[in-house]
Homo-oligomer: A and B are copies of this chain.
Amino acid sequence: MAHEDRRLQVLRAIVQDYVSTNDPVGSKALAARYDLGVSPATIRNDMAVLEEEGYITQPHTSAGRVPTDKGYRFFVDRISQVKPLSAAERRAIERFLDGALDLDDVLARTVRLLAQLTRNVAVIQYPTLARSAVRHLEVVQLASNRLLVVLITDTGRVEQRVVEIPVVTDAPAGADPVAELRTLLNAAFVGAKLAEAGLKVADLLDTAPAHLRGLVAAVSATLVETLAEPGEDRLLVGGTANLTRGGALDFPGTLRPLLEALEEQVVVLRLMGEVAPSHVLVSIGEENAHEGFTGASVVSVGYGSAGGTADLALGGLGVVGPTRMDYPGTMAAVRAVARYVGQLLAES
């Protein structure tokens, strides 16, 4: 029906207007600012229906309407138009990310960039260890019973662990057990995906010379353990100052729970959940299970393995902001940045 269609236009107009002005929007303002071709009275009727259906709500009688979470959801899924990035924004992305020194630097810059582009809080997950391949393993002796093991992956991530080891007693005279261990480990693991490392450990334990068994066992245990903790993936957060834009308006309670949740990295990691590089995930208000996020939306996407058939991400990145956010713009920015970061990591 024709008026069914117009109702969606009204909803879209309400969302757009509310996002840009932060004022509940009334029928008159809507008629004046958007070319809907009908009078305020008609719009009022449409709004009554939209409210009935739960897409919008009134903060109080005699105020305009505000989109509900359900309204935003509908907007994002059905009626928002993709907003291409401006040339200036594209340039900003390149300028910002080129010339990064190392992985840490890439991630730090990305977070700053994304926070700046979207004027919200940005988060980025370190590349998952499990899906990276080993480039090199370095072993350094710290003390007679302690080794430092440094793992370097093909995404440039460097992970270090101190390992307690049994003191080697039965080594052939003149041998350098640590050097042997290094050679052994590298021969076994270099090139392997870390997810498969568990399998190789068993082999290695069988084939290693007897006097190295103890060392190999200790180091392997630590490696496997490191990889087995997916929650241990680190997270970088930036742009928290943006939470205070719009005073106390955006976040009804305080922003305390949100700040706390952002420091509890685990919470955010779970929210980003299973991100894939192929499509942007939007989680709105109450849809976020965690209490701190009920007034916020999360827009996230995976990065890495760009265009690959296996749609697995190295990690996720995203933006956290008020439910009242510019979804099309944020989604475009998040997608573009993720793509660029993916390229950057693939190159190195």
Whether A244 contacts B240 by the Cβ 8 Å rule is no
Chain B's nearest CB lies how many Å from the CB of A102?
A: 5
Out of B161, B241, B245, B348, which one reaches A142, CB within 8 Å?
B348
Nearest-CB residue, chain B, relative to A142? B348
A138 within 8 A of B: yes
Whether B156 contacts A158 by the Cβ 8 Å rule is no
Contact with B along A329-348 (1 / 0, CB 8 A): 00000000000000000001
Whether B158 contacts A160 by the Cβ 8 Å rule is yes
Contact with B along A143-166 (1 / 0, CB 8 A): 000001010100010101110000
**With A142-B348, A158-B150, A158-B158 given, is the CB distance from A254 to B259 under 8 Å?**
no
Contact with B along A114-137 (1 / 0, CB 8 A): 000000000000000000000110
Residues from 235 to 250 in A contacting B, C-beta threshold 8 Å: 238-241, 243-245, 247-248
Q: How far is the CA of A24 from the CA of B31 in the complex (A)?
A: 51
Q: How far is the CA of A93 from the CA of B142 in the complex (A)?
A: 25
Chain B's nearest CB lies how many Å from the CB of A126?
A: 11
Q: How far is the CA of A238 from the CA of B237 in the complex (A)?
A: 11
Contact with B along A261-284 (1 / 0, CB 8 A): 001000000000000000000000
A260 within 8 A of B: yes
Chain B's nearest CB lies how many Å from the CB of A198?
A: 20
A101 within 8 A of B: yes
Cβ of A244: which chain B residues have Cβ within 8 Å of it? 254-256, 259
Cβ of A161: which chain B residues have Cβ within 8 Å of it? 101-102
Contact with B along A77-116 (1 / 0, CB 8 A): 0000000000000000000000001111000000000000
A140 within 8 A of B: yes
Nearest-CB residue, chain B, relative to A240? B259
Known: A148-B156, A156-B162. 5 other contacts (CB 8 A): A102-B160, A138-B138, A156-B160, A162-B348, A238-B263
